[in-house]
Amino acid sequence: MEQITALVRSQKRYFKTGETKKYETRIQALKTLHAALSAHESALTEALASDLNKSAFDAYVTEIGLVLKEIRFMIKHLKSWMKPKKVKTALTHFGTKGYIYPEPYGVTLIISPWNYPVQLSLMPLAGAVAAGNTVILKPSEVAPQTAKCLVDMFKNAFSTEYIAVVQGGPETSTALLNEDVDYVFFTGGTAVGKIIMEQAARRLIPVTLELGGKSPAIVHEDAPIELAAKRIAWGKFMNAGQTCVAPDYVYVHKTVKDAFLEALKAAVDELYGDDIAQENTTKIINERHFDRLVGYLSEGHILIGGETNRSKRFIAPTVLTDVTWTDPVMQEEIFGPILPVMEYENLNAILREISDKPKPLAFYLFSKNRDIQHHVVDRVSFGGGAINDTIYHMTTPYLPFGGIGESGIGAYHGQFSFATFSHQKSVLKQTTRFDLPFRYPNAKNGLKRIKLFLK
């Protein structure tokens, strides 16, 4: 892995020149990134179709378009983000001024996943560049055509001492983590996230981990049933359920369960009917995941869907009923187009049940009652979520996106990306016009005066 060592050293040297810290360099890099992504839109769309069978609509709406919007947002606000922030002065620090300087870490390593291989590579990359870092991007080898396209995209846009794309499997990630990088940003599963954190800890490298988990959706008795069904179906079955913030399962109140399931059938037919018939939906990424998901279809009762095609790695949007927490489908994140639906009567009982599980990346509540909304948000710990919607919370640059506990560490998007890839350096500017004598140990009655001063 001598090439990796040489790459990291070249980025270290380039960062130490101070070039990446300049506003002009950062803003030009963001503009170049925007132009390169726009120029490669067609090629990336084809690559996403090859790797995941994504439609042109999904490729733009859930990947390319989101990144372009994020970059434009950063270009607009970067100058204000870079300015040192003056803070209040404590009475005990009379005569001083306090500032926080956002400072780049240096060489950042971004390890991205296969499910949204453009968005989840370039969103953090844009934040790292905006914050003044150099970047090594290691895209997932499981989406090889998209990874190759990203290599081509950056090859002509940036020097490798500034931004480099390195292809390879787990051994490449391990080799990169063994290098003297300054920050690691990883998106993927919880099990691998723990390994990443352990490897980074050996070198005391700070990390952001964007992981996953079983994200619940609750449909309360006062929910707008048809709208809830449509938004849950959209959020769950987008990208064949291979979305870290997809609703993993639904708890629906007993009094509205039948109406909700009928509305869910109608929503699936409306949103995906023609594609299901022609098997044109996003495919499962590989045979291993396909076989794992098909194994869940023997559990509970298949109310909707259940059709599969192994040669196309196709699984129709599927809804399971009559499942319990003891079933394998409820033991791990599904990450596929299978939605278990369970009923409840007592809201507090299921909130306790959810709270006893690992903290999820996302949480969704459908209820028009504000008291219920406040109660649920207060009772359940989760990374982020939405009330009366799914997934939409992660598409705004004004909200941080990230997990908690086993669903992740840290957050990004918009200014939060800039903050994630910046060390907040504290600076106190002291006056020279006078000096407080009682701060020194030889001051007469110094301790007495300090005690009075600190009251």
pTM: 0.95
Confidence class for position 378, pLDDT limits 50, 70, 90: very high
Q: Using one digit for the tens of pLDDT, what is the confidence trace for 56-86?
A: 999 999 999 999 999 999 999 999 999 999 9
Confidence (pLDDT) at 446: 67
Q: How many domains would you assign to the chain?
A: 2
221 and 205 in a single domain? The answer is: no
391 and 419 in a single domain? The answer is: no
Closest CA to 243 of 359, 331, 115, 122: 115
Q: Quick one: average pLDDT of 307-319?
A: 95
Q: Quick one: average pLDDT of 383-390?
A: 98
Confidence (pLDDT) at 283: 94
Q: Quick one: average pLDDT of 389-410?
A: 96
CATH number of the domain where residue 199 is located: 3.40.605.10
DSSP per-residue letters across 200-269: HHHTT--EEEE-----EEEE-TTS-HHHHHHHHHHHHHGGGG--TTS--EEEEEGGGHHHHHHHHHHHHH
149 and 252 in a single domain? The answer is: no
Q: By percentage, how much of the chain surpasses pLDDT 90?
A: 91
Answer yes or no: is 135 within a domain. yes
Answer yes or no: is 438 within a domain. no
419 and 385 in a single domain? The answer is: no
116 and 223 in a single domain? The answer is: no
123 and 255 in a single domain? The answer is: no
55 and 183 in a single domain? The answer is: yes
Q: Which residues are catalytic?
A: 210, 244
Confidence (pLDDT) at 281: 86
Confidence class for position 92, pLDDT limits 50, 70, 90: confident
Q: What angle do CA 66, 28, 410 make, to 5 degrees?
A: 50
User: Is residue 204 a contact partner of residue 358, using CB atoms and an 8 Å limit?
Assistant: no
Domain of 64 in residue numbering reads as 2-211+405-427
CATH number of the domain where residue 244 is located: 3.40.309.10
